[in-house]
Amino acid sequence: MTDKYLRLENVDKFYGPIDLGVHAVRNVSMDVAKGEIIALLGSSGCGKTSTLRMIAGFEATSRGKIHLAGREVQMLPPVKRHVAMAFEGYSLYPTVNVRDNIAFALKAARLPASEVDAKVGEVAEMLEISDILDRSPNSLSGGQQQRASLARALIRSADLFLLDEPMGQLEPQLRTLLRGRIKHFLKERGMTAILVTHDQTEANALADRIAVMEDGMLQQYASPAEIKDRPANLFTGTFVGEPPMNVFPVRVSVEGGKLHMALEGGKELVYAEDAFAPEVRDAIMTRRDIVIGVRPYTVRRDESGVEATVLTNQWLGDQSHIAASFAEATVVLVEHDRADVVVGDRIAIRLDPSDLHIFDPATGMAISHGRGLA
Amino acid sequence: MEHTSTLERVLRAIAITLVILFFIFPIFWIVLMSFQTNETILRVPPSIVFEPTLQNYQALITGELDTAAGKLEFDFMSNLFNSFYLSTASVALGLILGIPAAYAFGRLKFRGSEDIAFTLLSFRFAPPLLVLLPLTIYFQKLGLADTYFGLIWVYQLIVLPLILWIVRGYFEDIPADIEYAYRIAGHGFWATFFKIALPLAMPGIAAAGLLAFIFAWNNFIFALVLASADKQPVTVGALAFVTASGIQYGQIAAGIVLSILPTLGLALYAQRYLVEGLSLGAVKG
Ligand SMILES: Nc1ncnc2c1ncn2[C@@H]1O[C@H](COP(=O)(O)OP(=O)(O)O)[C@@H](O)[C@H]1O
Ligand SMILES: [Mg+2]
């Protein structure tokens, strides 16, 4: 029960007639445990808000079921679902000040005034909005409005907290600061939350598990570490991670007991045949054409490697980002020391088999991560 | 824009003055006329110097018109009351029917809602004369001809589309998430409608109500055909001023002033709402 506190079962959302309208959410299934913080990560328009609104009850599910706290809720009106929500856009009651906006639900629940004040004070302090409590919503900046809306949600006692890009309009420093505080706040109280974001740093920092969405489909649902180490498909592989994963199409062949991966432009990566598990080798050989992915911080410079020409070299203060032309494309590598290469230098690149992610070019699904099958 | 030349500004000022004169002067002249007797009005050349008299207003209020042919009974005040009653009741009914409909069209976006909303608007495109003949026949069959109820019903053709379309725009302009926030905080659909949507759209509702009132007040053709003397509004009643024995300009002018006053007063009073209505735009994030 607790590990399936919230449960989406094959949920579909069409705006307009079923099967004809805009297919915003496609057959999404996921479970959320009680007390868990989930990040819904994806680019704009991928269906994050639609998913959240179906859970909240503002949009009807076109198909599928939603269970929350042991009840099937997809047919219930929002008022019966016991969820709180912080909104992406303008949602404050324009006629009352920020304090009353935040306290709204508590006052409606007839909590004693002293308790309401204490709670509002606490949340406002956490979100750095103590100084604007007496202002009218219309006089606030976008970031202040968002925090007020977030405070109004967090102050409630609800079964589930839905936070739709609650920090989208904040400046980066404040965002980093609040991220930690919000996580602490949620965890301390054992609150279950779904946070929508298109910022992977935020998702990584806040969430126990990340649900990566694209084009209405759930691409992967796993812990931040697993998403990084074992991306389920090419999309998650390239979407999550900064700078993004390098990907190259290759053609595989076996010659003289070695595995040859022919890159575009004629160069080859050569690996010992036992560099990959036998099942991986089989999977690769039946396809012949595959896509390899490698994270920038696992790309090595090594005399024995494949030649590349440096395009840029940026020192970011704590790491170097080098981009080099490689296999008719660009390879990006990250080094922790200041790299002594300049534009035009020839370098040699080594990609270790243990760092390779191999994908099926047709479906984009991961075949292997490092030595073993995906 | 900052570099408008003096000439340009002068020309613009003249243009604005001309426009204002064009619209205000007739009203100004009518107000002057309403305080004069027929003799001073018909003086040649006309002059704005005269001895003001209240006799026109007196005649209207007592309902006894002096004409060259003698005294004429004419119940102007009851016409004024009819206008007031018909317009107020029509707008009230229009608001009761129109506001929920506007909310449905603006928010719920059900299948075919655009078509229905447009059909309702199209009532305003059709010339009233087109529907009058069948309407008259139906009304006589139904016993609705020459009743306040029947007139108020027909007046919905004027006020309902107006209210519907204006108020719908205001509902659409309220960020939906304000309502969602209220609903998710534990309130039902109706509570949200009455506590959030309705108050936030109030400036628009006031503006729509005002406009609808003015349109209803100014209506002529429906009342002319469907109402008899005791139910007719001032717009129709004013025809009585044109008598066989001459036109009582002073009394007409006084009648016009009296019939403009309510709508003018209403407009001045509701100006506040109209301005508020415009500043509601700030709500949009
Ligand atoms: N009310 C709506 N009517 C029609 N299409 C919509 C509506 N809301 C969202 N969409 C469409 O559904 C898709 C997903 O939208 P949304 O859930 O808001 O994405 P996200 O929050 O991830 O940016 C988008 O293509 C969007 O244009
Ligand atoms: Mg969104």
Contact flag A89-B196 (C-beta cutoff 8 Å): no
Average pLDDT estimate for A25-54: 96
Average pLDDT estimate for A298-313: 93
The pLDDT score that the predictor gives to residue B89 is 96
Task: Read off the CATH number of the domain in which A340 is found.
Answer: 2.40.50.140
Q: A195 CA to chain B: closest CA distance, Å?
A: 17
The pLDDT score that the predictor gives to residue A214 is 96
Mark whether A170 and A101 lie in a shared domain: yes
The helix/strand/coil state of A30 is: strand
Q: Which atom of ligand 1 is nearest to the CA of A164?
A: 21
Mark whether A215 and A91 lie in a shared domain: yes
Mark whether B59 and B81 lie in a shared domain: no
Interface of A with B in 305-364 (CB under 8 A): none
Q: Is A252 on the interface with B (CB under 8 A)?
A: no
Which residue has better confidence, B172 or B38? B172
Instruction: Inform me whether the pLDDT recorded for B257 exceeds 80.
Output: yes
Report which of A54, A58, A48, A50 is spatially closest to residue A6, judged by C-alpha positions: A54
Mark whether A159 and A256 lie in a shared domain: no
Instruction: Inform me whether the pLDDT recorded for B273 exceeds 70.
Output: no
Q: What is the pLDDT of residues B191-240, one digit of tens each?
A: 999 999 999 998 889 888 988 998 899 888 888 888 887 888 888 887 77
What does each C-alpha distance from B218 to A135, B24, B233, B234, B240 come to in angstroms? 45, 18, 9, 9, 17
Mark whether B162 and B255 lie in a shared domain: yes
d(CA B34, CA B52): 9
Give Cβ neighbours of residue B155 (< 8 Å, ≥ 6 apart).
B86, B87, B90, B94, B216, B219, B222
Contact flag B183-A79 (C-beta cutoff 8 Å): yes
Mark whether B137 and B264 lie in a shared domain: yes
User: What percent of chain A has a predicted confidence (pLDDT) above 70?
Assistant: 99
The pLDDT score that the predictor gives to residue B61 is 84
Mark whether B168 and B63 lie in a shared domain: no
Q: Which residues pair with B79 in a beta bridge?
A: none
Mean residue pLDDT across chain A: 94
Q: A4 CA to chain B: closest CA distance, Å?
A: 22
Contact flag B178-A90 (C-beta cutoff 8 Å): yes
The pLDDT score that the predictor gives to residue B285 is 32
Mark whether A140 and A196 lie in a shared domain: yes
Q: What is the pLDDT of residues A346-364, one digit of tens each?
A: 999 999 999 999 999 999 9
Mark whether B163 and B270 lie in a shared domain: yes
Instruction: Inform me whether the pLDDT recorded for B284 exceeds 70.
Output: no
Task: Read off the CATH number of the domain in which B221 is found.
Answer: 1.10.3720.10
Mark whether B135 and B58 lie in a shared domain: no
Mark whether A121 and A227 lie in a shared domain: yes
Residue A343 per-residue DSSP state: T
Domain end call among B13, B44, B73: B73
The pLDDT score that the predictor gives to residue B145 is 82
Domain end call among A215, A239, A263: A239
Mark whether A225 and A261 lie in a shared domain: no
Q: At what angle do helices B198-218 and B76-103 cross, to 10 degrees?
A: 140
Mark whether A222 and A253 lie in a shared domain: no
Q: What is the pLDDT of residues A170-196, one digit of tens each?
A: 999 999 999 999 999 999 999 999 999
The pLDDT score that the predictor gives to residue B227 is 80
Mark whether B68 and B186 lie in a shared domain: no
Q: Which atom of ligand 1 is nearest to the CA of A22?
A: 5
pTM: 0.82
Q: What is the pLDDT of residues B82-95, one digit of tens each?
A: 999 999 999 999 99
Mark whether B134 and B245 lie in a shared domain: yes
Domain end call among A239, A256, A289: A239
What total of structural domains would you count in chain B? 2
Domain end call among B73, B89, B124: B73
Mark whether A275 and A136 lie in a shared domain: no
ipTM for the complex? Answer: 0.81
What total of structural domains would you count in chain A? 2
Residue of B nearest to A16 (CA): B111
Mark whether A212 and A252 lie in a shared domain: no
Domain end call among B40, B73, B106: B73
CB pairs under 8 A between A and B: 68
Mark whether A67 and A182 lie in a shared domain: yes
In this structure, the strands spanning A63-68 and A6-15 are: antiparallel
Q: Is B175 on the interface with A (CB under 8 A)?
A: yes
Contact flag B181-A142 (C-beta cutoff 8 Å): no
Q: Which atom of ligand 1 is nearest to the CA of A216?
A: 14
Mark whether B134 and B237 lie in a shared domain: yes
Domain range spanning residue A46? 2-239
Task: Read off the CATH number of the domain in which A34 is found.
Answer: 3.40.50.300
Mark whether A319 and A344 lie in a shared domain: yes
Instruction: Write out chain B residues lying below 8 Å of A83, CB-based.
Output: 184
Mark whether A194 and A261 lie in a shared domain: no
User: What percent of chain A has a predicted confidence (pLDDT) above 90?
Assistant: 88
Average pLDDT estimate for B253-257: 87
Confidence of residue A216 (pLDDT cuts 50, 70, 90): very high
Interface of B with A in 176-195 (CB under 8 A): 177-178, 180-189
The pLDDT score that the predictor gives to residue B41 is 83
Substitution target from A93, A116, A140 for chain B, most B beta carbons within 10 A: A93
Residue of B nearest to A140 (CA): B285
Q: What is the phi/psi pair of residue A330, to 5°?
A: -120, 135
Instruction: Inform me whether the pLDDT recorded for B108 exceeds 70.
Output: yes
Average pLDDT estimate for A15-23: 91
Q: B237 with B251: CB under 8 angstroms?
A: no
Domain range spanning residue B133? 76-282
Domain end call among A184, A212, A239: A239
